[in-house]
Structure 1
């Protein structure tokens, strides 16, 4: 697929990397030649230096023949103009990054007039993901499928866990909760899509699929915190803090925001009248204690400086280990080091946005197939994926017991949704038209459900 990306910032470069890796023909446009040169050196893509909103630059970039134009510059208005011009020139689909919350209402009114296929707000997406983790605080990360009916949760296995040293086939004898362990991260490099004989170790980062009730039951039986967090302290008062606080207040949580800029504190007090706004230094231990950090259920480090967030996250985890910690990190150049630190749940707005856009691209690419991608999440720093497919009539997988399907290596069917029923599948279960199916795999680029097959269904 021919794709033009306007804006070579954090999200633009991440999209160029992910989409080129999936085999798409990428052209990236930016006003500055320096970031373009760095991106082009690392990837096999074309680059155009210029204003991506102008007719001449878009023609030079081949927008008239592009299936998709993605505008992710730092300016919302420029992104919208890029998409408007691109649609007029002939681009089939357009996506714009729009971050300003003041535009949320207007976009729903004028998206069709702009020819806009999708608008993406990285900070809102990231805040929503953060809010989900507070529903089950023992989870490092929580993603949802089937319209929120099924959770994909990740947690770190404690040394004293009854699961440590046990194989997955022993799991039913340890817990009655209906869960399916679908991925295990071990150390910095290993990732496993496990079979029943796989033996868990203390320190493993385990991803499993369950309903919300099933996940709560599982964590309770593992003697881990399963109840919702009731209060939260957000350190830093930027866009993510605003979006997160808004969602948490609406969910009934007591929310405090610590922000060092008095003017921003005034803004937040107007925008969030039900939250408590505290003006001060969120990196000062005495001030944090004065604000009541010892009694809060969760702390989110959301300043604009990664180093501050990392230090805050490490400090909270060491000083108050029972407090749920969320750490925002924008840069990914030292991802392996970040992953090795005890920072609680780590979030990157860039990854949140690029994952959503990649899902849209994958769905576009396979719009005529018998199974559509509904949801896509990147796991383990992009080394694995969890996808939700909607099965239509005509899929050659329908009606065949799962144990008879010849699946790709390192791939697992994690859950089947059928009507209101959630099925944690066994080998005797089948896929039927109308089902929603969750697939977890180390194979990148799956576009339709039939791609899970190695040699086709049935016996050899």
Structure 2
């Protein structure tokens, strides 16, 4: 894919390096000459210097040919301008890094394809870890109404040795909970099926509504 990353700071550059390693055609844009020099000299990225809210600079970056434009500048107002200009130029998809939650509705009205909020990730991970110590990693979904999280199944749990179909049919199993993945002891990942058996020490990836999160955790931690 052809990708334009607007903003060559730590986050933007890291994304650009990751995508370049994946074989994508990546261009970074930033007004800071030191950042663009680092992107070019240390990482071999195509880097343009200038104000990305200038339509002429975005034209030079060929956003009209871009499969994705990711606006990752320090100010939401600038990211919004980049998004609108890129859309007008014909970019296939536009994504933004949101700093201020007050901009979410503005981005949505602008029909930005994807909005990424570091604060949402932080709140989801830290907040869930504080409230539920058994949770390994967590991510808020659906505007914070649902949570995707990892849970290690204790050896004494009542679900050990039971197939997923039997667990899901248990009257105490929360209705909003969905098995998303199972990390097997040998390191492989399995897409859960009805016949998949939960093992002691296994990491399970679950998705549940936020208000039932505590109930889901209690269900998996209850002893046989």
TM-score, normalization: structure 1? Answer: 0.42
Matched, 1:288 2:68: no
Displacement after TM superposition at 1:344 (Å): 1.6
Give the Cα–Cα distance (whole angstroms) in 1 for the partners of residues 197 and 35 of structure 2. Answer: 55
* Structure 2 partner of 1:350: 119
Displacement after TM superposition at 1:327 (Å): 0.6
Matched, 1:388 2:153: no
Of 148, 151, 159 in structure 2, the residue corresponding to residue 397 of structure 1 is 159
The 1:233/1:335 distance shift into structure 2, 3 A limit, reads closer
1:333 is paired with a residue whose SS is helix
The 1:262/1:328 distance shift into structure 2, 3 A limit, reads same
* Structure 2 partner of 1:425: 193
Runs of 4+, deviation exceeding 6 Å: none
Give the Cα–Cα distance (whole angstroms) in 2 for the partners of residues 409 and 394 of structure 1. Answer: 23
1:382 is paired with a residue whose SS is coil
Give the Cα–Cα distance (whole angstroms) in 2 for the partners of residues 448 and 407 of structure 1. Answer: 8
Displacement after TM superposition at 1:263 (Å): 4.4
Q: Is the 8 A contact 1:412 1:441 kept in 2?
A: yes
Alignment of 1:428-447 (within 5 A): 429-444=196-211, 446=213
Displacement after TM superposition at 1:334 (Å): 4.3
* Structure 2 partner of 1:262: 33
Displacement after TM superposition at 1:276 (Å): 1.4
Q: Is the 8 A contact 1:397 1:450 kept in 2?
A: no
* Structure 2 partner of 1:246: 17
Displacement after TM superposition at 1:403 (Å): 3.7
How many residue pairs match? The answer is 216
Matched, 1:306 2:76: yes
- Structure possessing the higher relative contact order (Cα contacts under 8 Å, 6 or more residues apart): 2
Give the Cα–Cα distance (whole angstroms) in 1 for the partners of residues 30 and 141 of structure 2. Answer: 32
Displacement after TM superposition at 1:283 (Å): 1.9
Of 169, 182, 194 in structure 2, the residue corresponding to residue 416 of structure 1 is 182
**Per-residue Cα deviation, 1:138-190 (whole angstroms, up to 9, x for no partner):** xxxxxxxxxxxxxxxxxxxxxxxxxxxxxxxxxxxxxxxxxxxxxxxxxxxxx
Q: Is the 8 A contact 2:124 2:138 kept in 1?
A: yes
TM-score, normalization: structure 2? Answer: 0.79
The 1:246/1:362 distance shift into structure 2, 3 A limit, reads farther
